[in-house]
Amino acid sequence: MSPSPGRVELDGAWWPRSRDLSHELPALADVLDPLWGRITRIAVNPRYWPIIPPRIFANGHGVKVGWFTSELDPHKILLLSGTSGRWDLLVIPPETTALSAARLMAAASANTAAQSTATALMTAEQADAPATSYDAGTGRLGRLVAAM
């Protein structure tokens, strides 16, 4: 797997179970580290994360975590690997229904030049999605999609 060409805004999507980065980021990095190469840094926009840990541990090594307000879309997470480069993932809010999450994952993983920004995808989904409550039947399995 390799990161997308520079013309594509997103490399995939991540659907965390909560807004607790101390708990969610190690699980994400544990999965992606062997696939993409050693992840060394992660960056988020703090708008939707109440606490941002300065460092997490994944696969036996430390990963620095930082934040950017104006430089990083609030609906995106950035992962850096010293060997493989950069990946930008759409962050699907934990409270999203399975149907909406599936549409967002497919849109974020599309390898097309006309792909939208993370915020544009979220805005379009919120406008198109029916007003529904939490989808209790999701099982929350397979919550990461990263199509390269």
Render pLDDT for 38-62 as a digit per residue (tens, 0 to 9).
999 999 999 999 999 999 999 899 9
- Residue 10 pLDDT greater than 60, yes or no: yes
Share of the chain above pLDDT 90, in %: 47
Are the C-beta atoms of residues 90 and 12 closer than 8 Å to each other?
Answer: yes
127 vs 39, more confident = 39
> What is the pTM assigned to this prediction?
0.76
- What pLDDT shows up at residue 109? 80
- What pLDDT shows up at residue 129? 62
Residue 106 CA to residue 85 CA, distance in Å, equals 23
- What pLDDT shows up at residue 122? 83
- pLDDT tens per residue, range 101-122: 998 888 888 765 445 678 788 8
138 vs 44, more confident = 44
Q: What's the N-to-C CA distance of the chain in angstroms?
A: 6
139 vs 66, more confident = 66
